[in-house]
Amino acid sequence: MHTKSALNEFAVFGSPPAFDQPLHVGRPNLGDRARLVERLHEILDRRWLTNDGPYVREFEQRIAELTGAKHAIAVSNGTTGLEIAIRAAGLAGEVIVPSFTFAATVHALHWLGVKPVFCDINPATHCLDPDRLEALITPRTTGILGVHLWGRPCEVDRLQAIADCRGLKLLFDAAHALGCSSQGRPIGQFGLAEIFSFHATKFLNSFEGGAIVTNDDALAGKLRLMRNFGFAGYDRIDEAGINGKMHEFSAAAGLTNLESAAAFIADNRRNYESYRNELRSIAGLSLLEYDERERCNYQYVVVEIDEAVCEVRRDLLVEVLWAENVLARRYFYPGCHRVEPYRSLYPDAGSRLPATEVVAGRVLLLPTGSTIQAAEIRAICEILRAAARRGPELTRRLAAQPLRFVNVV
Ligand code: T4K
């Protein structure tokens, strides 16, 4: 690792990179390897590989306990979980959803023939702005799909009040929010159902996987049927279902990683605080805060770049970092409304999403998780400090060469 504090040392201008190996946003956290292997042997010995196996049931039990939800239904991934929940909840016509989210949230609606109606976010929370939502409700609206982005909860009470008053179903994409809370209540307790992701890049992974949690008995029954082709018994199908089952290897990984979840959160929190200490002295860069009164998994280190202050574009900082082998991400640039098929289907959507467009243009996510060391965080921040201090000069010098890593949509 090389520490850099001057522009001339930057890899983007030809020097060797600060890091020999790439530092990722979303490097998987891994629990006790020996325990995982033990579980894998048990699965093979049992010859019960999928279809509601014992590890899947145990994993569901743990997720239900963690979220306080009455039912947890494990699924093959978060996207399939969203699709099954949207269908089981009977959403159709139009559903209100943020554009500032991972594409899966919106794809799940579109894939089921439901029109996503993009609602702007509150720039302070990065979540749905309830003040902008009511104006989007039409006679065709059947639901609201909120996203607890970065694990920071939506304004759940206000969204529920709107849903109740207008007769809409409320679901939450909680892909980022396992182990988080809102007003002291665990995520998993809100809306009709909430959907988690346990993808490799999530703080708690089952390699691939997800879970739908709900307190509604009837909905839970339907979700279980739909996850398994609609089978209610041998030769009996009660629903149009799909194959959304989690298999035993995934559940074994999820259970093993759950045993280390507190350690993963502690690592994330330690990293977050290191970034906070380093970044507070860099003008123009501000770290998105988590509410200390709530439970939080701290899995995302989100920085907002104020270009007017540091006089260098976010995208140029990304170019600099990638050249140094720091694979910072621009989640969720450019916003779903600006990617296909939504860009072509709803070409005017951007005009009512001003906060989404601004936030998508200034967000930068930095590497965290169990594999990142404090010295690496200091070195990353040193690069950012040098770049932000010499913003105009960096901008001028980069204008003279093609960007290697960043594409601008
Ligand atoms: N809703 C929201 C709000 C979501 O954020 C997501 C997923 C979903 C729904 C859907 O849930 P799933 O169906 O995925 O369960 C990643 C993840 O693929 C995606 O799960 C996640 N959100 C999203 C925020 O991030 P990419 O395309 O950025 O991933 P990728 O392949 O670039 O991985 C990120 C970094 O992690 C890479 O630099 C390499 C590293 N990595 C990745 C994998 C898979 C590893 O080191 N090891 C690995 O095994 O989307």
28 pLDDT exceeds 80? yes
Q: Tell me yes or no: is domain 33-258 CATH 3.40.640.10.
A: yes
Any residues with CB less than 8 A from the CB of 359 and at least 6 apart, and which? 100, 121, 123, 126, 304
Query: How many CA atoms within 13 Å lie on the side-chain side of 277?
Result: 10
Span from the CA of 203 to the centroid of ligand 1 (angstroms): 11
Distance 202 CA to ligand 1 centre (A): 7
Neighbours of 234 (CB within 10 A): 5
Q: How far is the CA of 82 from the centre of ligand 1 (A)?
A: 16
Quote the percentage of the chain above a pLDDT of 70.
100
Annotation: CATH topology of 7-28+261-328+367-398: Aspartate Aminotransferase, domain 1 (3.90.1150)
pLDDT band at 289 (very low <50, low <70, confident <90, very high): very high
Confidence of residue 1 (pLDDT cuts 50, 70, 90): confident
116, 95 contact by CB (below 8 A): yes
Average pLDDT over residues 178-183: 98
Query: Which residues, judged by CB distance below 6 Å to any ligand atom, belong to the binding site of ligand 1?
Result: 24-28, 77-79, 101-102, 104-105, 147, 173, 175-176, 197, 199-201, 210, 327, 331
Mutate to test the pocket of ligand 1, among 102, 212, 246 (most ligand atoms within 8 A of CB): 102
Query: Where exactly are the structural domains of the chain?
Result: 7-28+261-328+367-398, 33-258
For a mutational test of ligand 1's pocket, the pick from 82, 150, 201, i.e. the residue with the most ligand atoms closer than 8 A to its C-beta, is 201
pLDDT of residue 308: 93
pLDDT 10s digits, 242-284: 999 999 999 999 999 999 999 999 999 999 999 999 999 999 9
Does this model's pTM top 0.85? My answer is yes
d(C-alpha 223, C-alpha 228), whole Å: 9
Closest ligand 1 atom to residue 149 Cα is 3
CA dihedral (183, 187, 190, 195) in degrees, to 10, reads 160
Centre of ligand 1 to C-alpha 36, Å, is 22
- Both tokens of residue 292? 């200390």
User: What per-residue confidence (pLDDT) applies to 396?
Assistant: 95
> Above pLDDT 90, what percent of the chain?
96
Q: Is the pLDDT of residue 125 over 90?
A: yes
| Peptide bond connecting 334 to the previous residue in cis, omega within 30 degrees of 0 | yes
Ligand 1 center to residue 15 CA distance, Å?
A: 30
At residue 126, the pLDDT reads 98
Give the model's pLDDT for residue 171: 98
In the structure, what pLDDT confidence band is assigned to residue 407 with cuts at 50, 70 and 90?
Answer: confident
Q: Separation of 348 CA from ligand 1 center, angstroms?
A: 29
